[in-house]
Amino acid sequence: MEPTLDVGQRVLVNRFIYHFEDPSIGDIVVFHPPAGADSGTECGAPHPPTQACDTPTEAESSQNFIKRVVALPGDRLTIRDGHPVVNGVEKKNEPYTIPCGNGGDCNLPDPITIPPDHYFMMGDNRGASDDSRFWGPVPRDWIIGKAFATYWPPDRVGIF
């Protein structure tokens, strides 16, 4: 999640908010990724190299990940220059991201549709993030909560 968060930085997470409202695009969330995401990039189904993973593995990892929500249930998604293109609209104004570069994972032009009750996550360091592009959308039940503030180290204390 660099540059938004540094490695080792600590965050506060609201574990109750999503009992009352749905996650939104732009939310920074803590969640359990699909099994296999914590040991590499494992998609739950074969997919062409020009398409993001559209199917997570069935099992949930015990690890906690933190990423940004970029697409919601039912959205059609492609990736252009590391930016999500959701329902045909490219999200270009993302000042919190590090540019993706020219790798194949930065451009995934074949669309996928986010399944019901799933969310597509991407890290802010788009060229170096293992995220939903590789291991698929995250089921809502695996989302722990919304990160809202940092508390460590002291010189990085702040609210998102």
**Torsion sign across C-alpha atoms 41, 115, 123, 7:** negative
> What's the CA angle centered on 76, arms 121 and 4, to 5 degrees?
25
Output the tens digit of pLDDT for each of the chain's 160 residues: 989 998 889 999 999 999 999 999 999 999 999 998 987 668 999 999 999 999 999 999 999 999 999 999 999 999 999 999 999 999 888 889 998 877 678 999 999 999 999 999 999 999 999 999 999 999 999 999 999 999 998 888 988 8
- 120: closest CA among 50, 65, 64, 73? 73
* Spatial CA neighbour of 22 closest among 75, 85, 94: 75
Where in the chain are the domains?
10-159
Q: What is the pTM of this model?
A: 0.94
> Which residue type does 90 have?
E
Could you tell me the fold of the domain covering 10-159? Umud Fragment, subunit A (2.10.109)
